[in-house]
Amino acid sequence: MIWLLIALLISYLALLHLYPIKWVKARRSKEFFEPPDFYVYSYEFHIHTQFSYDSLGKPEDIKMSMSSEDIDYAIITDHDTDAIKNFCDEHKMIAGVERKITDQEGKILGDLIEIDNLKVIAHPFKEKYRWKLSRDKEYILEIINLKDALLENKFMLFLHLLPVVLLLPIFKERSLSLLQKVIDIEKYACVYLKEGWDNPVIGGLDHHVKIYIREVGMRFLFPNYKYSFMLMRNFLLSKEKISSAKELINAIKRGITIVSFLPKPSLVWRKGKKLFVQTPYENSIVFVEGTQKNCFEGSCASTELNDGVYVVYAYRYLLRIGRLYLGVRPLFITALEVRKDGDALT
């Protein structure tokens, strides 16, 4: 009986590693090209601390997790207050404010995060916070909210949580990467295009610490900031060198943000109307959705695009059998607009 249970458990873990699957016709790209000169910075966005009514994390916990996961900058966005600014390392951290926007009757019209002159529409695809105001082109759109994306399909989350718990003693925090399989980036790409968005995008963690225990020689917080930092981060491609978190905010408006699910950056840029994509992995499938649709396999791809709005996203896969790709997990997602007066990055 015990051997049967062990066999079932091993089969279950194997099936989860081969899930999800995709059936696509991808063009194999063998080209290689050097990216243009730009700077690449990692940053985390939409983080809550003890200054939010529903979180217990402290500034030093964020700093420790940034160091552990090699994150360059953190944008902390507590509810209705920027009190965290008094505790921020101005070279690495900056404070913003998350506010619910309501009408005179208290009906929620949207959720907006403000960091200096940068404004981000948060939770745009969550029914409760769907944006009902004008779509200012200067606003950034939170295309992935990590908390929403994980909790959206609770059944799939539960199926993947069990192996995470089982594998945690062996693989430590690396087992958390299984949770990325729950995040449906293709769905968010489709919704972004279907709803007619053309705003630049960003990925938000919406991280809240719910349990905090601090004793002499012990610090325990759950969920730990580093868990979210491991699952998702943003990479900013910037023409300008950045030396402080304040400079980061201005650069986000001018550069392109890649929402990444791995610590190695993927690069997306264009020259004129030609799009270039470069990932760190050969076992990648890259999708270009918008006015035109393309699908590529490999670490480098390029294509000519017509004017319009596009979402570019990619997966890594574990195994390929013809057009069948098994064990796919999200690699990155971003959005861009192709226009005659656009520059090489955006």
- In the predicted structure, residue 317 carries a pLDDT above the cut 90: yes
Q: Is residue 62 packed enough to be buried (19+ CB in 10 Å), middle (13-18) or exposed (0-12)?
A: buried
* Number of neighbouring beta carbons within 10 Å of residue 54: 10
State both tokens at 257. Answer: 């943000």
Measured CA to CA in angstroms, residue 136 lies from 120, 132, 133, 140, 231 at distances of 10, 12, 9, 9, 30
Query: Cβ of 320: how many Cβ atoms within 10 Å?
Result: 16
Average pLDDT score over the chain = 92
Provide the pLDDT confidence category of residue 9 given band limits of 50, 70 and 90.
low
Is residue 2 predicted with pLDDT exceeding 90? no
CA angle, corner 228, sides to 42 and 213, nearest 5?
125
Distance CA(109)–CA(33), nearest Å, equals 45
Instruction: Report the pLDDT value the prediction gives residue 181, as an integer from 0 to 100.
Output: 94
Least confident of 63-72, 170-179, 256-265, 317-326: 170-179
Question: Alpha helices of the chain — where are they, by DSSP H?
Answer: 2-18, 59-69, 146-151, 154-171, 185-194, 225-231, 245-254
Query: How far is residue 243's CA from residue 72's CA, in Å, rounded to a whole number?
Result: 10
Taking a C-beta distance cutoff of 8 angstroms, is the pair 46, 122 a contact?
yes
The CA radius of gyration of the chain, in Å to the nearest whole number, is 20
* Cα 285-289-293 angle, rounded to 5 deg: 85
- Judged by average pLDDT, the poorest of 29-43, 160-174, 214-228, 231-245 is 160-174
What is the rounded distance in angstroms from the CA atom of residue 346 to the CA atom of residue 335?
A: 9
For the ranges 128-137, 190-199, 214-223, the lowest mean pLDDT is seen at 214-223
338 sits in which H/E element: strand 329-338
- Per residue in 250-292, pLDDT (tens digit) is 999 999 999 999 999 999 999 989 999 999 999 999 999 999 9
Cα distance between residue 46 and residue 335, in whole Å: 19
The tokens 């089969």 sit on which residue?
Answer: 11
| Tens-digit pLDDT profile for residues 34-73 | 889 999 999 999 999 999 999 999 999 999 999 999 999 9
> What is the pTM assigned to this prediction?
0.94
Query: Smallest Cα–Cα separation from 167: which of 18, 17, 21, 2?
Result: 17
* Selection from 244, 274, 240, 238 nearest residue 258 by Cα: 238
Beta-carbon contacts of residue 206 (< 8 Å; ≥ 6 apart): 46, 48, 122, 123, 145, 146, 147, 148
Q: Is the pLDDT of residue 167 over 90?
A: no
% of residues, the chain, pLDDT over 90: 74
- pLDDT at site 286: 97
Long-range contacts of range 122-130, CB-CB < 8 Å, 24 or more positions apart? Answer: 122/46, 122/98, 122/204, 122/206, 123/148, 123/206, 124/197, 125/188, 125/191, 129/100
User: Can you tell me the distance from the alpha carbon of 150 to that of 206, in angstroms, rounded to the nearest whole number?
Assistant: 11
Q: What is the pLDDT of residue 71?
A: 98
Give the confidence band of 202 by pLDDT, cuts at 50, 70, 90: very high
Highest mean pLDDT among 212-216, 243-247, 297-301, 310-314: 310-314
